[in-house]
Amino acid sequence: MVSDKISQLQLLQQNLQNLFLQKQQIQNQSLEIESALMELKSTDKAYKIIGNIMVSSSQDTLLKELTGKKELLDMRLKNITKQEEKLKESYEQLQQEVVGGMKKQQK
C-alpha cells in the first residue's frame, strides 16, 4: 500500500519537473518576444525570418504577430501554473499519507 503511494509520489514529482521545464521554456520565449517587440518599436525597418531567408515585412504586421504570440504564451503560462499548483497540492497530500502510513507500519 505504502509502496504504491511512493510510486505515485515519484510520478507526481516527474510531472512537476516536466511542468517546470515547460514553464521555463515558455518564460524564455515570452522574454524573447518582449525583447523583439521593444526593438521593433524603436526601428524603422522590420524583417521576418521564414525558413532560411530573411524577408522585409511591415512593422504593423510583425507587431500584431508578436503580440498574438505573446498573448498565447501568457495563456499557456497561466494554465501550466494552475496545473503546477494542483500537482503540488496532490503531491503534498500524498506525501502526508505516505509519512502517516510509514509511521503506522513502524508501530
Distance (Å, rounded) from C-alpha 63 to C-alpha 48?
A: 11
**Predicted TM-score of the model (pTM):** 0.82
What does the pLDDT read at residue 18?
Answer: 97
Q: Residues 3-17: what's their mean pLDDT?
A: 92
Q: Residues 46-62: what's their mean pLDDT?
A: 92
- Mean pLDDT, the chain, as a whole number? 93
Whether 105 shows a pLDDT value over 90: the answer reads no
73-96 pLDDT, tens digit per residue, is 999 999 999 999 999 999 999 999
What does the pLDDT read at residue 102?
Answer: 82
Cβ atoms 26, 79 nearer than 8 A: no
DSSP 43: -
